[in-house]
Amino acid sequence: MASPKRSVVETASTAYEADLSAWAMEQAARLRAAAWSRLDIDNLADEIEDAARSERHALTSALRIILLHLLKWDHQPERRTRSWAEFIRMQRLAVQDRLDDSPSLNRQIGELLPRAYRRARIEAAGETGLDDAVFPAACPYGFEELMTREIPWPPASEGP
């Protein structure tokens, strides 16, 4: 009796374009069975690269959310909310989790932070109703500040 892994390897191939999920399971079974000649190398390479891009995208997205809320925090102090502070805290954890899971992404922060900021700036303008020009053209926050700046809640009173 053939093992389940072996039977999957010996079955007809599912086309990558026809059913990605079935194709991926077949490719995984073939890898585990060392059925090298049955692998769809080009599409496997594309999918591996897509996985790396997906990790970068998730990190960039978490950075963007932190930046968005910091911009709103700094430019509309009178409208600060607990949810802004919570979003910042939660996304900081998401960033740290991504970096813990994929330490090589640490080397890419310098590239990803400006990319995240471009989008955060547009969103901040839209959400605050302030003109784009109110927000700096270049990211005003370094990564360390982004991750460690204190965001007190409730905010300290700013008036007499």
Give the pLDDT confidence score for residue 87 in this predicted structure: 95
Residue 106 lies in a domain: yes
pTM score, whole prediction: 0.81
Give the pLDDT confidence score for residue 17 in this predicted structure: 85
Residue 48 lies in a domain: no
Residue 124 lies in a domain: yes
103 and 93 in contact (C-beta within 8 Å)? Answer: no
Q: How many domains does the chain have?
A: 1
Residue 17 lies in a domain: no
- The CA dihedral of 98, 103, 106, 112, to the nearest 10 degrees, is -50
Give the pLDDT confidence score for residue 113 in this predicted structure: 98
Show the domain range for 60: 56-148
**H or E segment at 101?**
helix 82-101
31 and 23 in contact (C-beta within 8 Å)? Answer: no
Residue 158 lies in a domain: no
List all residues 6 or more positions away from 119 whose beta carbon is below 8 Å from its beta carbon.
Answer: 64
List the chain residues with pLDDT less than 70.
Answer: 1-12, 157-160
Residue 27 lies in a domain: no
Give the pLDDT confidence score for residue 10 in this predicted structure: 53
Indicate the length of the chain as a whole number.
160
DSSP secondary structure string, 56-99?
HHHHHHHHHHHHHHHHHHHH-GGG--HHHHHHHHHHHHHHHHHH
